[in-house]
Amino acid sequence: MTQHVFPGRFTAAPERSDVTVFLIGMRANRWWQLGRVWRTASKMPPMLQHLVTHPEAGMLGVHSWFGRTTILLSYWESPEHLQRFAANRDAPHLQPWRDFMRTLQGTGSVGVWHETYQVPTADLEAVYVDMPAFGLAAATAHVPVGPGMKTARQRMGR
């Protein structure tokens, strides 16, 4: 699918005091054990579908890349929203996590990882040149770089 490219320079303009950045992924340590790798990887699409259809869960946007090590970049309203989703018995995360910990953790077949950052919007800076709406700008507001926003220093802390 081709995305519309916005010619010129754009930045993100979140209308919030902070944003939660969540990185998560997996690594096929023993890629030849395709059943275990696929079993783990196949749990993410239902989670993302749930989050897209339940905006009240707090995910603002998501991008992903696939390979031996996968990465999913997502933006959230708050760490509390992310934690509520992770612990929600009615959402499609808690049981797959428990299943992974019970059956695959410690086998060395598949690694999983995540990192969470809560970033005050005054402490972030973003620029996108000749790109589709992407990253934080796609998750919040995608705006042209204008006066007072020409440099990274100007965009930081506005």
The structural domains of the chain, with segments of one domain joined by +, span 6-14+120-155, 18-117
Cβ neighbours for 149, distance < 8 A, ≥ 6 positions apart: 11, 155, 158
pLDDT in the model for residue 96: 80
Per-residue pLDDT tens over the stretch 123-153:
889 999 999 999 999 999 999 999 998 999 8
C-alpha to C-alpha distance for 92 and 7, rounded to whole angstroms:
38
Please tell me what DSSP assigns to residue 23.
Answer: E
Asked whether residue 4 carries a pLDDT value surpassing 60, the answer given is yes
pTM, rounded to two decimals: 0.88
**What is the pLDDT, as a whole number, of residue 99?**
83
* Structural fold of domain 18-117: Alpha-Beta Plaits (3.30.70)
pLDDT digits (tens, 9 = 90+) for 28-66: 999 898 888 888 888 899 999 999 999 999 999 999 999
> For the segment 65-107, what is each residue's pLDDT rounded down to a tens digit?
999 999 999 999 999 999 999 999 998 888 888 888 788 878 8
- The pLDDT value recorded for residue 1 is 56
